[in-house]
Amino acid sequence: MRLKNDIHLAYCTNIHRGETWTETFHGLQEYTNQVRQRVCPEAPYGIGLRLSANASQELTDHPERLDEFKRWMDEHQSYVFTINGFPYGTFHGSRVKEQVYVPDWTSGERLAYTTQLFDLIDKMAPAGEEVSVSTLPGSFKEFISQETEKEQIEAMVKNLRACSDHIERLRDAGGRDIHLGLEPEPLGFFETSSETVSFFERLHEGAGRAESERLQRNLGVNYDTCHLAVEFEEPADAIGRLRAANIRISKIHLSSALRLKPEAESIERLKSFHDEVYLHQVIVGGEGKAVRRFRDLPEALEWSAGASPQSRGDEWRVHFHVPIHAQPEALFDDTRDHIPGVLAILGEDPGWCSHFEMETYTWEVLPEEIRSRDVVDQLVSEYDWCLNCFEKKGLA
């Protein structure tokens, strides 16, 4: 849906299963249209689409299926303005974990997939509409070896510059504003706002003025409120740092993470949030900043079993996307306060980002007590909560 200042708001359809286009389209027809009917029945409704490599290839190979989708959107007053291009392959029902970063930006496969997504959104979005694709933060820290780090970074830079060139050609041909957002994430190749600035400096290094200007408008950051909150960053500091470095905020993911005091009862309860599908990185905080990082919940839980209460830190933040419209449960808090913090900055200075996407993809792996609601009901509640936040800041 379209809000004030040309802001577009959607939920990301990666919450639904869909590795083939047939499965993806079924989710749109079965769930997304129900949500549209309840939150935006009379006005054009924005879709935040997730397309796997399999589904995007299917649409590319069968343009008649893309035409069918466009007719369906016209019939249901819907439009696509952004695509989540982070997960390349399977994203539900089986082990994802660190494989969500495969292939990474050192690989030509990631470049080919991402440019294919841009070709598709350029065809499916309304003419002249600003569009975006989001992607991973270059790679996963574990994938970068000390011996080959220089070569791996050079490969990332080369592929991202090639993606910028592809975007520029689409921009020249169609005249629309079109951009890629790299998404900092805990234990990603860059995860904090400072690491993100450093990577973008490397991305621009050696580029001439014209190329640097192209990179600046074509490549930016997908700012996930869960991820930056897990890093113990405050919105004003993180966004200020990115904007001061002239890094475009391509899209903002509205999401919330678990936070807890590391006491015996809450740590015991945290075990129920472990699953075999996604990574749930844990960052231990002390005096308001990150002091220790763990790859996944089991490593953090094992460490805490042998740690003294004093050494467990003041607070844990867990990369587990929980519903943004309600506190998870009594023993836990959440980081959704990061969202109105971001919107307050936008309300004071509108225009620096117009793409917003709610991204609570973990519905299938939530503990039963939180997941007992129907997914459509949950999504409608998330819209209600977010729209209230936008309205309070004069943005809806």
- DSSP state, residue 206: T
Question: Amino acid identity of 253?
Answer: H
Give pLDDT, residue 370.
83
Cα separation, 28 vs 241, whole angstroms:
37
Span 41-70, pLDDT tens digits: 999 999 999 999 999 999 999 999 999 999
Q: What SS3 class is residue 38?
A: helix
As given in the structure block, the two tokens for residue 358 are 């709610």
pLDDT at 368: 85
Confidence category of residue 188, pLDDT binned at 50, 70, 90: very high
d(CA 107, CA 119): 19
> Per residue in 69-94, pLDDT tens?
999 999 999 999 999 999 999 999 99
Pick from 253, 182, 256: nearest CA to 226: 256
pLDDT recorded at residue 45: 98
pLDDT, residue 144, reads 98
pLDDT digits (tens, 9 = 90+) for 101-143: 999 999 999 999 999 999 999 999 999 999 999 999 999 999 9
Whether 49 contacts 323, CB under 8 Å: no
CA distance 260 to 242: 28
pLDDT of residue 210: 97
Flag whether pLDDT at 302 surpasses 80. yes
Torsional sign, CA 29, 34, 35, 40: positive
pLDDT band at residue 181, thresholds of 50, 70 and 90?
very high
Is residue 182 packed enough to be buried (19+ CB in 10 Å), middle (13-18) or exposed (0-12)? Answer: buried
Average pLDDT of the segment spanning 180-197: 98
Distances (CA, A) of 197 to 184, 190, 201, 354: 11, 9, 6, 21
Are the C-beta atoms of 242 and 273 separated by less than 8 Å? no
pLDDT score of 371: 81
In tens, the pLDDT along 246-271 reads 999 999 999 999 999 999 999 999 99
Among 87-101, 256-270, 305-319, 365-379, the minimum mean pLDDT is found in 365-379
How sure is the predictor about 291, in pLDDT bands with cuts at 50, 70 and 90? Answer: very high
Residues in Cβ contact with 368 at an 8 Å cutoff, skipping those fewer than 6 apart: none
- pLDDT level of residue 373 (50, 70, 90 thresholds): confident
The proportion of the chain whose per-residue pLDDT surpasses 90, expressed as a percent, equals 97
pLDDT score for 389: 98
**Angstrom distance (rounded) from CA 295 to CA 268:** 18
Domains of the chain: 4-255+331-392 (3.20.20.150)
Please give the average per-residue pLDDT across 19-31, as a whole number. Answer: 97
Torsion of CA 254, 107, 194, 359, to 10 degrees: 10
CA dihedral over 282, 286, 289, 290, signed as positive or negative: negative
Model confidence at 372: pLDDT above 90: no
Q: Residue 235's pLDDT is what?
A: 98
Measured CA to CA, the distance from residue 97 to residue 285 in angstroms comes to 23
Q: Kindly report the CA angle at 59 between 179 and 125, in degrees rounded to 5?
A: 40
Q: What is the pLDDT of residues 193-248, one digit of tens each?
A: 999 999 999 999 999 999 999 999 999 999 999 999 999 999 999 999 999 999 99
Which string of b and e fits 87-104 if b means at least 16 CB within 10 Å?
bbebbbeeebeeebbbbb
Model confidence at 342, in pLDDT bands (50, 70, 90)?
very high
Confidence of residue 376 (pLDDT cuts 50, 70, 90): very high
Residue 113: how many CA atoms within 13 Å on its side-chain side?
25
| CA-wise closest residue to 185 among 233, 127, 240, 151 | 233
